[in-house]
Structure 1
Amino acid sequence: MQITPKIFFSEDLSKRSYVYFFINQKRVRIYQGAQFGKSCSPNLKKTAKSRLRELILLEDIVIAELKKGWLLGQKRWLIGEVLKSMLAELNSSSYSKKYIRDTTIVSQEFMEYARVLDILNMEVDVITTSTVESFLSRFDSSSAYYAIKRRTLSAVFNKIVQRGIMKTNPVKGTSSRRVEAVHNQSFSEKQLDGCLEAVREASDNLYLCVLFVYCMLLRPHKEVRLLTRGNFNDDLTILTLSGDQNKSKRIRSIPVPDNIRKILLSIGVQVLSDQVNIFTSDFKPLNEFYFSTCWARVKTKLVRKGIITPNHTLYSFRHSAICSVFKRDKDLHLVQRLCSHQSMMTSLKYLRSLGMEQVGTLDELPQLKR
């Protein structure tokens, strides 16, 4: 439908001037640019000449807005405003610091890209799959880097879709990258022995952390680092994590192995107050990068000696333990329960990412009768 805005102007300054057009045989009058976020008010001008000049500017604004798809009374969802609103909501949420950080970065990068394309102040509907594909091509230096950016950006647009601002997620149609599972590699038995010995010599706190990670399948940076005396029962034989202390958001109770219990007794954890951190013996825990820094120092030496690879991380201890359990019992339900995964599919994906899809024995293969 062709809409042609026109100007109504009178040199009699007592009469209001405006830009108008007809839609569905109804006349629509636009008196100022405020509704488009523009500073343009012809009727405030004191001379006929300046009023006409301002009216011409208002006409140009209306024409531009109509080309963008604006109609009277329609809510306008501009790309910049929507993404900024999403970030404000995200920063006041209970999501992890890492998730908020990654989402903030990719949203800001996309806004900058939209600014370069001159679409930042346009409706979100102008974002197409090809727009997103072009944006993601900037992160094509590795499959893993591309996949992370794509997954994070998709989460942002999913939230926009959930709020009814967009009908479909434009990231869904973009090409994916097959990522080879190399990060957080599990250790071989020989590597594990070498790592444990090196960690024991380097740091008592790191060694205790690694034991929690391997023997009890806890995550190091939040679940282990923030442990207090109150997480244990009186005789230090049971560890309990509340819903807000672990990733699954469910209460977990785990028996404490004897090797860990002996260390806890030796450092006097049993006499601490419930709110005191077991690593610092203080109400304040270790900083969030403490274990990462300690491990980085040990890892550098081990990589240099050829004992492990750069793809081994602190989480490799947890992954190695899960591999060990699965190889021993071939029980996916057990892996799900020990890891406190929400579903068995999560456990299956986890094992696949660790290269655990292979058939275990010859008996599991089909046999010919002859």
Structure 2
Amino acid sequence: MFTSPQISTNNDLNSRSYIFFYYFTIRYKLYNGNKLNLPIFPNHAKTIKERNKLLSKLQLECHKALLNDWNPTGIEKEQKIQIVKDSFENILAEKLNSPYSKFYKRDLQKVCEQFLNFIPKELLTKLVTEIPLEIIEDFLNQFKTSGRSYMNKRRSLSIFFSELVRKDYLQKNPVNKTSKQKIKAKLHEVYSEEQLREVFKFLKVNHYNLYLCALITYGCLLRPHQEVRQLKLKHISKDFSEIHLSGNENKSGKVRTVYIPDYLSKELKQHLFGFDDVETNIFSLASAESFNDDYFKTQWSRAKTQMLKAGLIQENQTLYSFRHTAVVNVYRKTKDLHVVQQLLQHSNMIVTLNYLRGLGETNNEDLKNCMPQLI
């Protein structure tokens, strides 16, 4: 019992390439044709093209030999842990020790625990190649209460299987064969100009930290619960004209510089007057200490009840609506997707377009204006 030989290579001639395959669940490597009694030496090649040609030849000859009952037990083999439980726990440990966000790690930890508890106990000690697709589908079907819940769980589980593929435990990711569900966009309805003024006025008097968070979210297009909540004095330039975030301090993962508009600069100067410690969090006003993850969520929940009763906001208007309102205003002013993409730090234009479409900003009216006219 064996799998078809595969090529493992890259574009670096200094890195050794090889052929690999599974023979009775054990993974083997072939770097050259010595074990086949053939003069094939891909890693002696002088060019990438020549090496790829030799690798293909070695792959073909290896496959022929296996078909002719060649026993590869005498060649180099990799002793890797392929047991389901161990493999998942090892991958989780690697992820938890990597510089990912706490939410990413939390989701992976949860899905790992849920999946290992769901599958039959006898499967825990079997090889990962023996996990049936039906088990994966049955596990995911538990979360079909909403498209978002299902797809989030599917994405998290897929990360484990993708790692198994990357480590050569599996040839393909079985999660890719499971069904997808459409995610209904969660509407963060934008504010009108009049609403914006009234809401800011109310928050400034009754919930100042929430007001400041909303003002930064609107004026700088930062995300409130992480990027804004954890802002310190050191992130703000001395003249209060810019905010500087490192790659691990914002969702894009890149160094980010954000312009601070005049109305926000003035507010920050007044709020932070007399504070010199650069580690001071701008909300807790304590050195190197920010409020908990749910701080603004709780604050908004309290303020929202009051504002709904006063008729200041609608049910679908949220803390994130300040960011969405700013995005819509910028797009309406410029009609330039590239500008919006840069402000939001999106990885590509498709993400930005989907973002605007989710806000209902790119719609049939935009297309209508592009229709040909009869002269």
Q: Deviations over 1:280-335 (max 9, x none)?
A: 33212223222121111112334456654554432222122112222232211011
208, 214, 217: which one aligns with 1:210: 214
1:219 maps to amino acid:
R
Contact 1:127 1:170 in 2 (8 A): no
Q: Which residue of 2 aligns with 1:282?
A: 286
Q: Which residue of 2 aligns with 1:322?
A: 327
State how far apart, in whole Å, the 1-side matches of 2:88 and 2:307 are: 44
For residues 1-370 of structure 1, the aligned pairs below 5 Å read 75=80, 77-115=82-120, 118-189=122-193, 191-269=195-273, 271-283=275-287, 284-303=289-308, 308=313, 311-361=316-366, 364-367=369-372, 369=374
Structure 1 window deviating more from structure 2 (209-218 vs 120-129): it is 120-129
State how far apart, in whole Å, the 2-side matches of 1:246 and 1:312 are: 24
Shift of 1:195: 3.5
1:201 maps to amino acid:
V
Contact 1:229 1:269 in 2 (8 A): no
Change in Cα spacing, 1:367 to 1:199, as seen in structure 2 (3 Å) is: same
Shift of 1:108: 0.9
SS in structure 2 at match of 1:139: coil
Change in Cα spacing, 1:182 to 1:233, as seen in structure 2 (3 Å) is: closer
State how far apart, in whole Å, the 1-side matches of 2:250 and 2:177 are: 34
Change in Cα spacing, 1:120 to 1:287, as seen in structure 2 (3 Å) is: same
Shift of 1:270: 6.2
Shift of 1:337: 0.5
Shift of 1:121: 1.6
Shift of 1:111: 0.7
Query: How big is the alpha-carbon RMSD for the aligned residues of Structure 1 and Structure 2?
Result: 2.7
Structure 1 window deviating more from structure 2 (118-127 vs 73-82): it is 73-82
- Structure 1, unmatched stretches of 5+, are 2-22, 25-70
State how far apart, in whole Å, the 1-side matches of 2:241 and 2:274 are: 11
Larger Rg: 1
- Structure 2, unmatched stretches of 5+, are 2-22, 25-71
Contact 1:235 1:270 in 2 (8 A): no
Contact 1:234 1:270 in 2 (8 A): no
State how far apart, in whole Å, the 2-side matches of 1:214 and 1:98 are: 24
Q: Which residue of 1 aligns with 2:46?
A: none
Change in Cα spacing, 1:182 to 1:309, as seen in structure 2 (3 Å) is: farther
State how far apart, in whole Å, the 2-side matches of 1:207 and 1:302 are: 13
SS in structure 2 at match of 1:172: helix
State how far apart, in whole Å, the 2-side matches of 1:80 and 1:196 are: 52
Contact 1:242 1:252 in 2 (8 A): yes
State how far apart, in whole Å, the 1-side matches of 2:345 and 2:274 are: 27
2:190 maps to amino acid:
S
Change in Cα spacing, 1:237 to 1:76, as seen in structure 2 (3 Å) is: closer
2:354 maps to amino acid:
K
Q: How many percent of aligned residue pairs carry the same amino acid?
A: 36
Shift of 1:190: 5.2
Shift of 1:160: 2.2
Shift of 1:211: 0.6
- How many residues align structurally? 302
TM-score by length of 1: 0.73
Contact 2:84 2:124 in 1 (8 A): yes
Contact 2:189 2:318 in 1 (8 A): yes
Shift of 1:136: 1.0
